[in-house]
Structure 1
Amino acid sequence: MISGVTAPRVTDLSDFERRLVESAREGELLGAAQIDVAELAETESPDHLVRAEVLRDLLLGRHGELDPRGIMLKLARVTGKLNLDGATATAGLMLFTCVFDQPVLARQARLPHLYLIGGRLPGLDASQVRIEGGLHLSDGVRITGNSPNGAIRLIGAHIGGNLQCRDAEISNPAGFALEASSAELGNGLYLHQGTRITGSSADGAIRLNAARIGGPLECQSITVFNDRGPAVEAENLTVGRSVLIRDSKLSGNGEIGAVRLQGAQIGGQLQFSATTRVTSPEGRLLGLSDAKATTVFLPDGLVCPDGSSSPECAHTELVWLDEFTYAAIDPAFGWRRWLHLLRCHTEYYDATGYQKLAAVERTAGHDGNVRAILIAQQDDLRRRAPEALGGRMSRLFHWLWGALAGYGYRARRTAAALLLALVAAGVLGLWAGATETRPGHHAAERVATGAACSPVELIGLGLDRGLPIAPTGLRSRCDLDTASVPGQVFTAAIWGVQVAVWGLATLALAGYTNLVRKTG
C-alpha cells in the first residue's frame, strides 16, 4: 500500500482484467487465447488487453491480498505506461509472452521478483530497484530501447537472487543495452543460451562498472555487439566467484578495447573458452589492468591468431595487462604464451606484467622460467623504452650486459665468456711467440737472451698480462718486446683482453651475489 491508499484507481475492469484479479488471488496463471506475438502487439481484442494501471493496482495490493506466487499472466498486451517508481509491490510479477506498449518504470521500487518470459518490452528503467528474488529474462523475450540511458537500466539496483538472461534479445541503437553500474546481485549474473545483446555507446553495450556480484558471472553461448565502444565495460567490477565466458562472441569497437575488466576483483577464475571470440576492428581486445583473479584461462587464439610463444609476431591485436594480479595461468596456455602477450600484444613496455609472471613461476618453483622472463623484460625495455636507459653509451652497455651476462640472470654465460677471454689471452701469447720482429727475434721472447720462449711460457705470458691481478713474475723471464711494432700491437690486444676480463669478472660476481641492480 502507498500512503494509506487501498482502493484501486481503476474500477471499470474488463472481463479479462477481472479474471486476472481472481487468478492473482488464487496464485494461478491466467492465459489468453493463442496468438502470434506480432499480432498481439497490434490487437485490440479485450480478451488480450490489460491496462497498466490495473496491473499496478494489483501489484500494490489494491485488489486485496494476493497469493505469494504472485501475478502470472500469459499472452496479454499491456496498454499504457506501467509506472512503479517508488512503489512497494506486495506480490511478484511473472509475464509469459506479454507485450508492452510503453517502457516499464520501476525506479526505487520494491518487488519480490520479476520474470519476463517471452514477449516484447520497449525498455525497462529500474534504477535503484530492490528485488528480493531474481530478475529473469528468457525464452525469446525482446527488450528494445531507444534512449542513451539504456534498454535495461539497473543502476544501483539490489537483486537478492540471480539476474538471468536466457535466449533473450536486448538491443538499443541509441545507447547501452544493459546498464547495471553499481548494481548489487546477491547471487550470480547469467547470460545464457543464445542471448543477443546489441548496443551503440562509447561506454559499452553491457556496462557493469563498480557492480558487485556475489556469485559467478557466466556468459554461455551469447553474442554481444557494440559498433561504437566496448562490448563489455566492467571497470572495478567485483565478482565473488568466477568469470566464465564460453562459446560466445563479444564484438566491440574503438580505442579502449572490446572487453574491459580494468580494476575488476574476481574471487575465482577468469576463463575464456576455446570457442569464445573477442573482436574489434582496431584489434584492441581485452583490458585487465589492475584486475585480480586466481587462475587465468585463455585459449591460444583469443588474442594472437597463431597462438604463438615466439618473441616476435606480425599480428597487432592488443591487451592491457599492467598491474594484473593472478595466482596461476592455465598450464595448457603456459607461461611462454603469456610472455608472448607481454612482448608482442601490449601497447607499451610495462615492467609489472613481467614481474607478476615471474612471481607466479617463482612460486611454482620454476627458477629457470623466472630467469627467462626477467631477461625478456630487459630486452623489451631496450626495444620499447630505450629512453629509460639513458644515453647512447648506457644503451650500448645495457646491450652488452644482456649479451654477455644475461642482465645478471645468466652467470654461466658470463663464466663462459670469461673463460673465452682467458683462452684468447693464452692464444695471443702463443701468437706473439710465433711472430718474428727481425731475424732471430719474436714479439715475445726471453728477456735476457732474446731466445724463443717455450709454449708453456708463452701461454703463461698471455695469462699473466691478461689477468687483472698481481703479476706472477713470469715476465722477468719471458715478455713482449714492446720496442717492436708487433710487440706493441700484441700488448694493446692483451690490454683489451684485460679490460674484458675485469668487466666479465665483475658481472660474474654480481650475477652470483645479486649486486647488479635491475633496470625497469
Structure 2
Amino acid sequence: MLSYDELTSPERELWDAFPEGRHVDLRTSVPEDVRVAGGGQWGTERSVRAAVIVALLLGANTTQPGAVPCLRIAGARISGRLKLAGAQITHALWLEDCWFEESVDLLGATLHTLVVTRSRVPGIEADAARIEGNLDLRSTVVEAGASSPFNHENTALSLSDAHVAGGVLLNGAEFNAPGGWAVSAGGLVMEGGFFCKRGFVARGEVRFVGAQLRGGLFMQGAHLAVPGRHGVALALDNAAVSTLELSDGFTANGTIRLRRTQIWDNLSFEGAVLNGPPNGDSPALAAPLMQAVDFRLTPARTPSGPLDLRGAQVSYLHENRYSWPDVVKLDGFGYGSIKVAEAGEAQDAARYEKSVADRVAWLRRSPGYSPQPYEQLASWYRSIGHDDDARRVLLAKQRHRRRGLSLPARAWGHLLDATVGYGYRPWLAGVWLLMLTLLGTLAFGSDSPSAVKPGEGAPFQPLVYTLDLLIPISGLGQRTAWYWTDGSLQWLAYLLIAFGWVLTTAVIAGLTRTLQKN
C-alpha cells in the first residue's frame, strides 16, 4: 500500500490534485523537452509511477465533498505497467503528452472515459473492457513492443469483445505492429462512431471481424499498410456497420476485406487509393456477400489489384472512370441502379457517355462465364426503359457462353447468332427472308419452268414460287405444280427449301431461348 511520505514531488502533486480533478502539467517550456519521442530521457521530476495512478483510480485518496475526482496529467513519464485489468473505475482518466515505459492493461475493466492524447504507449490491451464514455487516443503513437505481455499476437491496440458506449477517437494516431495487428477489435460493440481520420496511420492489419459499429467507421484520409505479398490492411468480415467511410485520400497498401459485411447505409471509396498487396494477384477489395445501401466505388485512381464482388448486394452503385481494374469478379453481384460520378458530380448513368459495349467489356473482366452479371445488367437497362440495350447485353451473354461449348454446339450457336441473334434480333430472319426472296424471284423469273400437269393449276409466278419454297409448310400450290429442266435452277430450288427449314428452326429455337434462363 502506498503512503504519502514515499511519493515523489510530481506524484504528490498528482495525489493532491486528484480529489478536485485539477490538471497537473509537468511539461517544460523547452520545445525539445516537450517532445514525447524523447520521454525516455525525462528525469524523476517528470516521472510518475503507474502504481500511483492505479491507486488513485481505485479510491486511495478520499473524495472531497462538492468536487468530482478526475486524474488529469500532462507531460509525464509513466514508469512501470498501468495494470487495471478487471477494475471498476468510476473516474475519468486524462493523460496528455505522456510517455509510457510499459503497456496499459485494461483487460475486462469497466471505466468511464479514457483520454490518452499526443502520447507514446507500447501497447494497449482492452479486451472485454467496458467503456461508458469515450476512448480518445488522438495523435498518440501505440506500438506492439517487446514490453507488451500480449506481444505473442504482436498487437498494438486490442479491443476484442469490448463495449464502448461513446466513441473511439484515433484521429492522427499511429499504430505500429509490422507483421501483426495494429488494431484488433473483433467482436467490438460500438454505440458511437469509430474515428480514424486525418493523419491516422496503421502499420499492420486493422481488424473488426464480427464487430458491431452502430455509429459507423470513419477513415477519411487514413493510411493503412501491411508488409508481405498477401497482406490484409483492413478486415471487417461478418461485421455490421452503419456507415463505412474509406474516402477522401484513404490509402490502403493491402487488401480491404468485407466478406459478409452488412453496411446499413453508406460505403464510400470516394477519392480513395486502393493499392492492394504488391503481388498483384490478391484483391485490392474482397467483398463477397457484402450488403450495402449506397456503394460509392469512386476512387482517385484505378485499384492496382482485382475486385471481388461475388454475391454482394447494393441498392445504389456509384462508379467513375477509375472504378474497375482489369479483373473484377462479378458473379452474383446485384445492384438496383448505377450512377456515374464525373468531375465530382453525380449524374444518372443513362445520360453518361458509356456505351453498352463498354459495360459488356466490364462484364468480360470477370473470369470465366457466368450468366448472372449479364442478366443483372440487362435488368437494370430494362428498369430505366432501355429495352434495346438490355437485348444487346443478353446477346453478348450468349456469345460469351458459346466460347465454352463443344464444336457442334458452337457451330449451331453461330447459326442462331447470324440468323436471329439468338432470338434477341428476330428482324434478322426477315432480312434473310427478303434477300432469299429477291434472289429466287430474279433467278426464277429469268427462265420458264415445266408444268407437272400441263394445262392444270395456276400460272407460274416467280415471287409466289420462291415464297412457296421458303415456307416449310407449303400451301401456295406453286412448288408442286412446276419443275425445272435447268439443273442450276433446280438446285437453287432445293437450297431455298433447305434455307427455309433452317430459318424456321432458328427462329423457333431463338425465340424459345429468350423465354428461358441459361
User: If the length of structure 1 is used for normalisation, what is the TM-score?
Assistant: 0.81
| Equivalent residue runs for 1:84-99 within 5 Å | 84-99=84-99
Q: Deviation at 1:510?
A: 3.4
Residue 27 of structure 1 and its aligned partner are, at CA, apart by: 1.9
Where does residue 137 of structure 1 map in the other structure?
137
| Alpha-carbon offset, residue 41 of structure 1 | 2.2
Matched, 1:371 2:391: yes
Tell me which residue corresponds to 1:12.
6
Alignment correspondent of 1:72? 72
Cα distance change, pair 162–372 in 1 and its aligned pair in 2 (3 A): farther
2:181 aligned counterpart, secondary structure: coil
How far apart, CA to CA, are the structure 2 residues paired with 1:120 and 1:180?
20
Map 1:447-486; keep pairs closer than 5 Å.
447=452, 457-477=461-481, 479-481=482-484, 484-486=486-488
Secondary structure of the equivalent of 2:17? Answer: helix
For 1:182 and 1:206, locate their aligned partners in 2 and report how far apart those are by CA, in whole Å. Answer: 13
Q: Is the 8 A contact 1:289 1:320 kept in 2?
A: no
Misfit runs of 4+, over 6 Å:
none
CA deviation string 1:353-411 (max 9, x = no partner): 4444444554445444443444444444445xx2xx5x332344344444544444x2x
Check 1:115–1:378 CA distance in 2 against 1; reply closer, same or farther (3 A cut): farther
1:28 aligns with 2:22: yes
Report the alpha carbon displacement of residue 33 of structure 1 after superposing the two structures with TM: 2.6
Residue number in structure 2 paired with 1:197: 202
Aligned: 1:177 with 2:182: yes
Q: Is the 8 A contact 1:414 1:507 kept in 2?
A: no
Counterpart residue number, 1:3: none
Structure 1 residues 472 and 350, CA gap change in structure 2 (3 angstroms):
closer
Runs of 5+ consecutive residues of structure 2 not aligned to the other structure = 146-150, 305-321, 343-348
Number of the residue aligned with 1:260: 257
Across the aligned residues of Structure 1 and Structure 2, the Cα RMSD in angstroms comes to 3.2
Describe the shift of the 1:150–1:30 C-alpha distance in structure 2 as closer, same or farther (beyond 3 A).
same
Residue 237 of structure 2 corresponds to 235
Distance in 1 (CA, whole Å) between partners of 2:303 and 2:472 is 50
Residue in structure 1 matching 2:409, options 394, 398, 409: 394
The residue aligned with 1:437 is none
Q: Which range moves more in the overlay, 334-343 or 128-137?
A: 334-343
Q: Does residue 500 of structure 2 align to residue 498 of structure 1? A: yes
- Cα pair 1:93 1:115 within 8 Å, conserved: yes
Hey, what's the Cα distance between the residues in 1 that align with 2:68 and 2:328? 49
1:48, 1:496 → 2: CA distance? 101
Q: Deviations over 1:176-197 (max 9, x none)?
A: 1111111111122221111111
Aligned to 2:363: 342
| 1:295 aligned counterpart, secondary structure | strand
Please list the CA deviations of residues 238-289 of structure 1 after superposition, one character each: whole Å capped at 9, or x if unmatched. Answer: 112354422121111xxxxx21112111111222113534433315211221
User: What secondary structure, in the 3-state scheme, does the structure 2 residue paired with 1:86 have?
Assistant: coil
- Distance in 1 of aligned mates of 2:330 and 2:371: 10
Secondary structure at the aligned position of 2:97 is classed as strand
Name the % identity. Answer: 26
In the other structure, the counterpart of 1:427 is: 439
Mapping 1:260-409, distance limit 5 Å: 260-281=257-278, 282=280, 284-299=283-298, 302-303=301-302, 317-332=326-341, 334=349, 340-344=361-365, 346-383=366-403, 386=404, 391-408=406-423
> Secondary structure of 1:20's partner?
helix
With normalisation by structure 2, the TM-score equals 0.81
Following the alignment from structure 1 to structure 2, what is the Cα–Cα distance between the partners of residues 16 and 362?
74
**Greater CA drift, 142-151 or 92-101:** 142-151
Q: Return the alpha-carbon distance in structure 2 between the equivalents of residues 23 and 340 of structure 1.
A: 69
SS in 2 for 1:192: coil
Aligned partners of 2:116 and 2:138 also within 8 Å: yes
Whether 2:61 is the aligned partner of 1:63: answer yes
What SS does the corresponding residue of 1:421 show, helix, strand or coil?
helix
1:138 is paired with a residue whose SS is coil
Give 1:36 shift.
Answer: 3.2
Distance apart, 1:92 and its partner CA: 2.2
Asked if the contact 1:461–1:475 (Cα under 8 Å) also holds between the matched residues in 2, the reply is: yes
**How far is the alpha carbon of 1:55 from its aligned partner?**
1.3
Deviation at 1:112, TM superposition (A): 0.9
1:26-47 superposed Cα distances (whole Å, 9 cap, x missing partner): 2222110322335642235222
Identify if the C-alpha distance between structure 1 residues 420 and 381 changes in structure 2 by more than 3 Å, giving closer, same or farther: closer
8 Å CA contact 2:47–2:79 kept in 1: the answer is yes
Seen in structure 2, the aligned counterparts of structure 1 residues 404 and 81 have a Cα distance that, compared at 3 Å, is farther
Change (3 A) 1:509 1:174: closer
Structure 1 residues 369 and 150, CA gap change in structure 2 (3 angstroms): farther
Aligned match for 1:250, one of 238, 246, 252: 252
CA contact (8 A) 2:155 2:182 kept: yes
CA gap of 1:162–1:328, structure 2 versus 1, over 3 A, is farther
Query: Is the Cα–Cα contact under 8 Å of residues 159 and 184 in structure 2 kept in the other structure?
Result: yes
Take 1:60 and 1:317, find their aligned partners in 2: how far apart are those partners? 59
Aligned to 1:187: 192
Closer, same or farther in 2 for the Cα pair 1:224/1:317, shift >3 Å?
A: farther
Q: 1:507 to 1:347 in 2, by over 3 A?
A: closer
Q: Secondary structure at the match of 2:427?
A: helix
- SS of the residue 1:473 aligns to: coil
Partner residue, 1:166: 171
SS at match of 1:475: coil
1:488 positional shift: 4.0
1:323 positional shift: 3.7
Counterpart of 2:209, as a letter, is N
> Aligned AA for 1:287?
A
Letter in 1 for 2:240: T
Structure 1 residue runs without a partner (length 5+): 1-6, 200-204, 253-257, 306-312, 435-440
Counterpart amino acid of 1:92? A
